[in-house]
Structure 1
Amino acid sequence: MHVERTVLHLQVARTLRSISQGIAVVDLTLYLKDLHWSAQAIGGVISAAGIFGAAMILLIGVLSDRIGRKPFLLIYECLIAVAALLVTFTANSIVLTAVIVIAGFGRGQNGAAGPFTPAEQAWMAALVPRASRGRVFSVNSALGFFGMALGSVIAGTTKWWSHALPGALSFRPLFFLMFLFSVACAVVISLTPKEERQHQPPAPAANQAQATVSETDAHAAERQIRQRENRNMLKLAAVNLLNGLAVGFFGPLISYWFAIKFGASTAQIGVTLAVSFVLTGFSSLITGELTRRFGMVKSVVFFQVLGVCMILILPLMPSFWLASVFYILRSALNRGTQGARSALSASLTRNQRRGFSVSMNSLVMRLTSALGPTLSGYILDIGELGLPFYLGGVLQLGSTLLYGRLFRDFDRSSQASNAKSG
């Protein structure tokens, strides 16, 4: 009962957080565009936010293993609340830059807690048995996508008051709404049951000699386990290096791309992203079920290869609505695997190193994805509107194939573990 209640609180918090992020992923870049920021300037500040978040993420992962997860999630919600309040009341470029960089404001993370994500994922993984993680993490991811969809719809409502608040001012009521969602999320986290820190009691020994032998064996076994865990973390880091580069090329500036290529309005972009998040949520639920039947790795590889095809076709579309269709398909196929990927990442180590494991791979992902927006912003400014998608698609295909190659044994070991427990 305690476990179920904690998981429920974490999922409610993710849903609230994702609504706020759905608003930001549509409106922030368009808000900066209305303030006459260039694509390169927007991409540059988003890249800086990624680098700052990467610098924070490893520290948070390690500390959350020692201190606990709950305090860090509370800090994150308070940070986002303050950031939203500042963006509501000022257009000062220095303040906006600081808010975006320090708080990661405006990054669409499907309800994840930014650089504090390792604490969130490690907390949930500690509560859910390994055999159920693919399904539970996929449901968690789906809730994030559904929340992002609702936020994207809300983001398109600026036209309702654009006469009273013209131009960039029309975005400010929505930024204040983000502040309210962040406060609500902080309340939910604060009411979450306290974590139960797990301590392994020493195994009893029949005599002193046996105790000495047991301790020596335990050290040797611990060394082997750590080496295996470290190898797995390095493998996933290699995969995420390519995946981070890929996502950084076309993810953060998609609203801006729709606006400059097709002249799409905020409402049109909001509808497109909302539909993409809804279908991605359903795709995540389907992926969660498929992981039980075919395995996490096979399911991820299958959907991501199809998603890469959509990425490569997308920039060839002659109209906004056709491009929207392929973007929606790409999102559903590719991003719908996020829960399964998170479940595998959280399953590479034991609980006492889980925050470190998740943070290491998030670090690599964030550092490499931080390069993409600056490069793609420059590419968009010189008029090459298709190149970011082609570069991202090729990199993501390489990442997907490498993922399947390096972790193909993970499905077999999971199936064997399920058979034993059954």
Structure 2
Amino acid sequence: MSLAFARNGRIWAKSRIAAWPSPVRRLFVARFLRSLAQGCLVVDFTLYLHSLHWSGTSIGAVLAGSFVLGAVLSLLVGPASDRFGCKRLLIGYEVAVALAFFAVAWSNRPAVIAIAAVFAGFGRGANGAPGCFVPVELSWLAGLIPVTSHGAAYSINTAAGFLGMGFGALFAVAPTLWSHALPGVSSYQPLFLIGGAIALVIAGLLATIPESRPPKKDIESASPLPPLAHDERKRLWYLGLISLFSGVSLGLSGPLIAYWFAVKFYLDPLQIAPALAASYFAAAFSAMLTGQLTERFGSASSFVFLQGLGALLLLGFPFLPSFPLAALVWILRFAIERGATGAMEAVMMTLVGASRRGLAGGLGTAALALPRGFGPLIAGDRIAANDLAAPFLLAAFLQILYVVLFGFAFLARDRGFTKI
């Protein structure tokens, strides 16, 4: 283990990616590569559907379906990784995502696009997370590092994802630049070929990373997993219930932001992409700072403070009169709120023992993803009706409620004891 882990007082050394073991660094790189395609599509996918004359409600329904499927599969995939290991599951996911990308590059039929988008999460802006397989990634990473380093590791992983999202969002201007050679909707097709190639590269990279523990060969040969303790079960249920509020909030305020900017200010990808790219770069920087905050103040305390501040900024966002001002506030709010993701993941991974991290990650992911599916449905309908403020006001209220409930339950963990 690196010297950085032995010197608990040297927070700056822990935050350097070079200080982490090679398998951990490769997982960071996989997150970065995955987020390149996601960052591009968070700008261009809804605009692509808009150019195909999909309604706002239809666009929201596809994104909603992706969140719902992700939630259901997360409940299955997380426990499966506890029993069988992470490596094969995550590699299989990347190959399936590559096929989804290539299918959309080949056909713009609504059924093909909808099926591929629902599974692969096109346009969701997942910060490099592997969709419904995010519990597998979190569990794999947790098994490669000591528990005391989880907050820093997850924050760096979050920062790597946001950095890739930023570069991907910058690349989202490409359809406008090559529109003379590829006019109309065909200008978006190369993006899906590039996304499929990236997914295959990630699958190859993951194949070089060792398992954090030897995988079980099959159910019959696997030793029974220990049952959850009463306190563990109670903490998981509480986190799952309050995450419903955050899930709806995130679905209302995030996935359709490019579409919202386009409708409110009459913009195209060339204008929207730089603003979203800046928000991701700012979030990457914020996530790195959050990693240091977790070392000093605790993961729960850092998360509550940053989420609360981001929710307050969201209250005034939809009333800003110009795109430059709205973009500036969105960048600041996005950086503050989303940069805290790693801190939340660190809290989630400490709620149970090491053998049930996949279950915790699956439940936490599902609790966010399932209600998040309602957000795009509501937001898409409101945007189509030109009611552009309601989605953000409701999102802010729900996020404030979530922060209060989260703080009540988990702030005590930073002081060495548990309330629930």
Same fold (TM over 0.5): yes
Superposition deviation, residue 48 in structure 1: 1.1
Task: Confirm or deny that 1:358 pairs with 2:361.
Answer: yes
Superposition deviation, residue 164 in structure 1: 1.3
Give secondary structure in 2 for the equivalent of 1:252.
coil
Contact 1:249 1:388 in 2 (8 A): yes
Which residue pairs with 1:304 in the alignment? 307
Which residue pairs with 1:63 in the alignment? 80
The within-5 A match list for 1:7-406 is 7-197=24-214, 226-406=229-409
Contact 1:62 1:355 in 2 (8 A): yes
TM-score scaled by length of structure 1: 0.90
Contact 1:246 1:369 in 2 (8 A): yes
Which letter maps to 1:357? A
Contact 1:17 1:181 in 2 (8 A): yes
Contact 1:80 1:105 in 2 (8 A): no
Deviation larger for 385-394 or 178-187: 178-187
Superposition deviation, residue 179 in structure 1: 1.2
Identity between Structure 1 and Structure 2 (%): 39
1:341-400 CA deviation, whole Å, 9 max, x = no partner? Answer: 111111111121110111011111111001111111111111100100000000001001
Task: Tell me how many residue pairs correspond in the alignment.
Answer: 392
1:165-218 CA deviation, whole Å, 9 max, x = no partner? Answer: 11211111122111111111111011112442399xxxxxxxxxxxxxxxxxxx
If you compute each CA radius of gyration, which structure gives the higher value, 1 or 2? 1
Q: Give the Cα separation in 1 of the matches to 2:367 and 2:211.
A: 30
Q: Give the Cα separation in 2 of the matches to 1:272 and 1:128.
A: 35
Give secondary structure in 2 for the equivalent of 1:37.
coil
Superposition deviation, residue 414 in structure 1: 8.2
Structure 2 residues without counterparts, runs of 5 or longer:
3-19, 217-225
Give secondary structure in 1 for the equivalent of 2:230.
helix
Q: Give the Cα separation in 1 of the matches to 2:285 and 2:207.
A: 29
Q: 1:126/1:99 Cα in 2 relative to 1: closer, same or farther (>3 Å)?
A: same
Q: Give the Cα separation in 2 of the matches to 1:312 and 1:234.
A: 29
Superposition deviation, residue 38 in structure 1: 0.6
Contact 2:246 2:368 in 1 (8 A): yes
Give secondary structure in 2 for the equivalent of 1:127.
coil
**Greater helix fraction, Structure 1 or Structure 2:** 1
Q: Give the Cα separation in 1 of the matches to 2:401 and 2:130.
A: 27
Contact 1:53 1:114 in 2 (8 A): yes
Structure 1 residues without counterparts, runs of 5 or longer:
200-221, 416-422
Which letter maps to 2:131? G
Q: Give the Cα separation in 2 of the matches to 1:365 and 1:77.
A: 22
Task: Confirm or deny that 1:412 pairs with 2:405.
Answer: no
Q: Give the Cα separation in 1 of the matches to 2:211 and 2:295.
A: 30
Contact 2:85 2:211 in 1 (8 A): no
TM-score scaled by length of structure 2: 0.90
Superposition deviation, residue 124 in structure 1: 0.7
Q: Give the Cα separation in 2 of the matches to 1:46 and 1:377.
A: 10
Superposition deviation, residue 295 in structure 1: 1.1
Contact 1:131 1:414 in 2 (8 A): no
Which letter maps to 1:192? I
Q: Give the Cα separation in 2 of the matches to 1:149 and 1:308.
A: 22
Q: Give the Cα separation in 1 of the matches to 2:241 and 2:72.
A: 18
1:66-118 CA deviation, whole Å, 9 max, x = no partner? Answer: 00001111111111111111111211001111111122233211011100000
Contact 2:236 2:360 in 1 (8 A): yes
Which letter maps to 2:337? N
Which residue pairs with 2:9 in the alignment? none
Which letter maps to 2:258? S
Q: Give the Cα separation in 1 of the matches to 2:321 and 2:212.
A: 53
Contact 2:310 2:336 in 1 (8 A): yes
Superposition deviation, residue 8 in structure 1: 1.4
